[in-house]
Structure 1
Amino acid sequence: MGMAASLLLAANILGACTKSDEAAERSENANKVNAEGMPIVDDKIQVDGFAAKFFASQDWNDLMLWKEYEKMTNIEVDWSTVQTEALAEKRNLTLTSGDYPEVYFASAFSKTDLIKYGQQGIFLPLNDYIDEYAPNFKKLLDEYPSVKQGVTMADGNIYGFPTIYDPKFEALRAEAPWVKQEWLDKLGMKEPETTEDFYELLKAIKNDDPNGNGQQDEMAWGGGYGIDEFIAYLRGSFGLNKQGSMNITLDFKEGTEDFRFVPTTDEYKELVTYLNKLYSEGLINKDVFTVTPQEFTADSSKGNYGVLNSIDPAELLKLDGYVGMPVLEGPSGERSYNTVSNGLGNLGMFVITDKAENPEAMVRWMDYFYGDEGTKMFFMGFEGTTYEEDADGKFKYLDTITDNPDGLNMDQAISQYLTWPGGYYPGIVKQKFFQGAESKENSRANAEKVKPFRIKDDDILPGLNFTVEENDQVSAIMTDINTYVEESTAAFITGKQDLSKWDDYVKTIEKMGVDQYLEIAQGAYDRMKEN
């Protein structure tokens, strides 16, 4: 990156300084906040909060989770909630109208919003509050420097509490597709070791009648969340994204710390060519670009797929006998699983605004959910009401949750008490307290199979954080480029665009300004290293 550009970026940062760059001022109520233990405040306080919820029937003001937490903390949150589908519109309206709350919970603010409203002084910088009032969260930042880098905006401030997926929870980080072991046995084939082995297996599944019914009704490899799932599994086999998936279109040129644009690399072309071969021979579900997850779940539950992109089919589809796929060696000898994050989810899941009268108390209030007791309460609920603990110290939901007498599924049943279903929440997801499919034995075994080939944590880059000005530039450049890449990738894989046109595709992306994006991204990375 040129010196002039570096100076320009520095000027952008300095020029954007506002009151958010100053050390946090203690509120007039700070001395009323207990440094540790419960309650957080001796005299009850009321706080107005805005939140996204998954189930329309929930009234958060009467929900057991928040009523019990109010008793513990002496903090009553008056909740205004919207369903997740309407979140963006309603959340943004509160800000543009100026009628915004003291805190936003489960509100999924983007990085762009965090830096924008942070520098306007609407979102409070949390750094000093975290140091003094958030021991659980601070411990995580100290333990995982990459997470700390990821939550720190370009101006050096932290404006939001994020979702964190415990980096020790392997099944949430790297899980391969699933293959039907019975069909491998009937075909007399071993688990594939290479991408070529995998191709031969998929052909055999499609053509050699492993279900033994005399019909060619078997499907080879299927998924219900688009082609990105297929690409994700194969990135490491084709030498892509050796710095992880937090910046999915970027990785380093070999032997350097200089970015290249992944979708224009020779390796990406090779991966797309491989998928084109599978798709053209009917080895990937033909409706992969259009099918909804619900439609694919209904189709795959018939048991006609040999390989599935899914959480454990035994949990999701009630189909036993699937085992985790190996990580495959690619045509150049690469064998790695690289679609891995540092465990950091959405950064803006809890923010405190300049209207907060008790910011210190609310930082303590939020911090509880980054420790074990708060995590257990948030995900498991209340002993004797929603869960029980066995003699080995393991937690499990009561039968009234997992086999509800009123016919509710587990999400519906637990949502009578808790808010986590739907996936919108700040806090940390730990295997010990999470009862989803990823915590079950088969998923743990799948993850352990992947682990020896998973890129090392030290190699994973956190997501890049841009200044307000850089965000505007990146958005202007990358909105059209990302759309073009997505459409072109689909066209190459389906054969609607011949791969002989690859060079034209690359030149088009260059004309669209990708080099400028790479320069901005490189500056953000260099700045992160310096900080």
Structure 2
Amino acid sequence: MRKRKNRFMNAVALLAVFAILMAGCSGNGGGNGNEGNGGIADKGTAEATDMTTKEIGYPDSISYWVSLNPNVSATMKDYSEIAAYKEVEKQTGTKVTFQHPPTGQEKDQFNLMLASGSLPDVIEYQWNQAPKGVDSLIKEKRIIRLNELIEQHAPNLTKVLNDNPDFRKMVTTDEGNIYVMPFLLGDPLLSVFNGPVLREDWLKKLNLEVPTTISEWETVLTAFRDGDPNGNGEKDEIPYFFSIADTDLNSLFVGAWGITADFYQEDGKVKYGPIQPEYKEFLTLMAKWYKEGLIDRDYATTDGKLKDAKVTGNQLGSLSTYPGSGIGRYTDLMKESNPAFAVVGAPYPALEEGGQSIGQYAFPFSTHGAAISASAKNPEQIVKWLDLKYGEEGHLLFNFGIEGESYTLENGYPKYTDTILNNPDLPVTQAMAKYFIASWNGPMVQDKRYIEQYYKLDAQRNAQESWSEADHSKRMPPVTLTSEESSKASAIMNDVKTYRDEMINKFIMGGETLEGFDKYVETIKQMGIEEATSVQQSALDRFNKR
């Protein structure tokens, strides 16, 4: 323990020295002066030189607003109980008071907090959901521009951004502002984490191969319906569970037509998938499958718990899910009741043999990160405190936890102990949450070695590999909307998505025939989808010019 503490303190000391050197080098450089930097004096003044060349300490306290991850709330009251945060408090002396909005009310609580003007020091959020856009929030002095503060007091993050120009491009707005200490995916392996899964034991019993095309999927689903894969003579199997939410995330099936269920871009031109002619073909197929009993009849009213019950009740043959909370969790849950239970990930299906489909993909930066409010009295110290997570020691701490407890170093590789991977009292995700935040997000660089160990089963690793073969080129990057664009797009898309989802269910379940698709498209156009598309196009054009 003493050895680990000494190494941490040495790292902190080195970072402090580095921060001084960085400040000395950049204190008189160019830039935008005090624009949006929370009250730091203009560069070049005696006060600014004083501030940027002397060492600063860590803050005594920080108020920190962030959503409460369910794996934390299962065993702890807030993030202050996570071992990584306890360790940072022990080493820096900074007391963090976490404020967690009620689960399910995060967006409403965020908007209320902004409207009230009473803001905590740090706000961690998915910022593409912020009203008016982040540049506007900086101008309105809700949050502050971080460019200069990062340059002067965050040597670790500065190195990450310098070493990865694409990261810097993504975290910088069209107006040149860096607004958060970002959550970054440190490897392409981390970008793909959802896709189609089938009951492998059912496939084997019915002598079927893993499907790769739409027609092969139809063959498999039909066999699941008719072939009695459970062998109980009841033929009560549900071949496929459809979900609008899954379609939004990963384009399962709709991606075979080269479109998505939201905005996508093709050769630099933005399009809205649900009004394309190809979307009618997708809906026609889903309606056919639903009528033939290949899709869960009750999909529209099936929540997460009921879906789990259908999987563990040996009813469901295929669905979209995750490697951890899906493949891994279901496999663990079925060990005793059905040892033969096995699932396999399938490639995103193409229309034809050798074709390619659009699949789920997350860009290295998805706009999630920790911003500093304009009311924070010590932004320099807060930036320095947050920057610890991007250094070597902090990186290990927030991805792997406490050395000797949650992980050990084996030839330089941080290997999780049985406390994490084989905890007799907790699922892996909850065991992880007691020590670190890598299994969800936060201001840090997520390490691929976390996922390499989290995926304990070959089925998980093979699924991720299969899903990664999909086309990701048409996915929209993390563009930034202006205040006017954000307000305009939100007003339009709230209505469009509500209507879209209502009509998808009607088309699939037979409440409306596909002859009404043209009228559906016209209605969405009347709602302003072309204007919303134009907004996305302008944002994409600006992003490409960064």
Shift of 1:395: 1.5
Match of 1:264 in 2: 275
Number of residue pairs aligned between Structure 1 and Structure 2: 492
- Conserved? CA contact 2:496–2:527, under 8 Å: yes
- Give the whole-Å Cα distance in 1 for the aligned partners of 2:452 and 2:104: 25
- Conserved? CA contact 2:197–2:320, under 8 Å: yes
Q: For residues 465 and 149 of structure 1, do their structure 2 counterparts lie closer, same or farther at Cα, with a shift above 3 Å needed?
A: same
Match of 1:290 in 2: 301
- AA at the equivalent of 2:493: M
Report the TM-score when normalising by structure 2.
Answer: 0.79
Instruction: Work out which of the residue numbers 305, 325, 329 in structure 1 matches 2:346.
Output: 325
Shift of 1:502: 0.8
Identity rate, percent: 25
Worse-matched range after superposition: 191-200 or 208-217? 208-217
Match of 1:20 in 2: 36
Q: For residues 252 and 480 of structure 1, do their structure 2 counterparts lie closer, same or farther at Cα, with a shift above 3 Å needed?
A: same
Shift of 1:515: 1.8
- Give the whole-Å Cα distance in 1 for the aligned partners of 2:250 and 2:512: 18
Q: For residues 265 and 85 of structure 1, do their structure 2 counterparts lie closer, same or farther at Cα, with a shift above 3 Å needed?
A: closer
Q: For residues 373 and 211 of structure 1, do their structure 2 counterparts lie closer, same or farther at Cα, with a shift above 3 Å needed?
A: same
- Give the whole-Å Cα distance in 1 for the aligned partners of 2:378 and 2:52: 7
- Structure 1 gaps, min length 5: 1-17, 35-40, 242-247
- Conserved? CA contact 2:63–2:96, under 8 Å: yes
Instruction: Work out which of the residue numbers 345, 350, 371 in structure 2 matches 1:351.
Output: 371
SS at match of 1:219: coil
- Conserved? CA contact 1:224–1:292, under 8 Å: no
Which aligned pairs between 1:138-153 and structure 2 lie closer than 5 A? 138-142=158-162, 145-153=165-173
Instruction: Work out which of the residue numbers 57, 62, 72 in structure 1 matches 2:91.
Output: 72
Query: Over aligned residue pairs, what C-alpha RMSD do you find?
Result: 3.4
- Conserved? CA contact 1:340–1:455, under 8 Å: yes
Match of 2:285 in 1: 274
Match of 2:262 in 1: 249
Shift of 1:490: 1.7
- Give the whole-Å Cα distance in 2 for the aligned partners of 1:44 and 1:480: 44
Match of 1:336 in 2: 357
- Give the whole-Å Cα distance in 1 for the aligned partners of 2:97 and 2:53: 23
Worse-matched range after superposition: 151-160 or 490-499? 151-160
- Conserved? CA contact 1:45–1:76, under 8 Å: yes
SS at match of 2:179: coil
Match of 1:8 in 2: none
Instruction: Work out which of the residue numbers 468, 488, 505 in structure 2 matches 1:473.
Output: 488
- AA at the equivalent of 1:315: G
Instruction: Work out which of the residue numbers 390, 395, 398 in structure 1 matches 2:418.
Output: 398
- Conserved? CA contact 1:477–1:512, under 8 Å: yes
Report the TM-score when normalising by structure 1.
Answer: 0.81
Match of 1:509 in 2: 524
- Give the whole-Å Cα distance in 1 for the aligned partners of 2:242 and 2:422: 26
1:382-402 CA deviation, whole Å, 9 max, x = no partner? 123333445683511433774
- Conserved? CA contact 1:223–1:310, under 8 Å: no
- Conserved? CA contact 1:223–1:296, under 8 Å: no
Q: For residues 175 and 495 of structure 1, do their structure 2 counterparts lie closer, same or farther at Cα, with a shift above 3 Å needed?
A: same
Q: Does 1:425 align with 2:445?
A: no
Shift of 1:494: 1.5
Q: For residues 408 and 110 of structure 1, do their structure 2 counterparts lie closer, same or farther at Cα, with a shift above 3 Å needed?
A: same
Q: For residues 429 and 280 of structure 1, do their structure 2 counterparts lie closer, same or farther at Cα, with a shift above 3 Å needed?
A: farther
- Give the whole-Å Cα distance in 2 for the aligned partners of 1:210 and 1:373: 51
1:191-232 CA deviation, whole Å, 9 max, x = no partner? 223201110110011101223222212221226774527962
Worse-matched range after superposition: 299-308 or 469-478? 299-308
- Give the whole-Å Cα distance in 2 for the aligned partners of 1:376 and 1:479: 40
Q: For residues 439 and 518 of structure 1, do their structure 2 counterparts lie closer, same or farther at Cα, with a shift above 3 Å needed?
A: farther
Q: For residues 396 and 228 of structure 1, do their structure 2 counterparts lie closer, same or farther at Cα, with a shift above 3 Å needed?
A: same
Which aligned pairs between 1:176-191 and structure 2 lie closer than 5 A? 176-191=195-210
- Structure 2 gaps, min length 5: 1-33, 335-340
- Give the whole-Å Cα distance in 2 for the aligned partners of 1:133 and 1:115: 22
- Conserved? CA contact 1:21–1:157, under 8 Å: no
- Give the whole-Å Cα distance in 2 for the aligned partners of 1:326 and 1:143: 33
SS at match of 2:251: helix
- AA at the equivalent of 1:58: K
- Conserved? CA contact 2:230–2:314, under 8 Å: no
Q: Does 1:499 align with 2:514?
A: yes
Instruction: Work out which of the residue numbers 65, 73, 84 in structure 2 matches 1:50.
Output: 65
1:471-528 CA deviation, whole Å, 9 max, x = no partner? 1111222221121112111211112110011111111112222222222222222222
Instruction: Work out which of the residue numbers 400, 403, 421 in structure 2 matches 1:383.
Output: 403
- AA at the equivalent of 1:191: V
- Give the whole-Å Cα distance in 2 for the aligned partners of 1:214 and 1:62: 51
- Give the whole-Å Cα distance in 1 for the aligned partners of 2:386 and 2:540: 30
Match of 2:311 in 1: 300
SS at match of 1:519: helix
Q: For residues 414 and 276 of structure 1, do their structure 2 counterparts lie closer, same or farther at Cα, with a shift above 3 Å needed?
A: same
Match of 1:239 in 2: 258
- Conserved? CA contact 1:225–1:293, under 8 Å: no
Q: Does 1:485 align with 2:485?
A: no
Q: For residues 166 and 442 of structure 1, do their structure 2 counterparts lie closer, same or farther at Cα, with a shift above 3 Å needed?
A: farther
- AA at the equivalent of 2:138: G
SS at match of 1:177: strand
SS at match of 1:395: strand
1:137-175 CA deviation, whole Å, 9 max, x = no partner? 3444455555444333332212123333334225x5154
- AA at the equivalent of 2:36: S
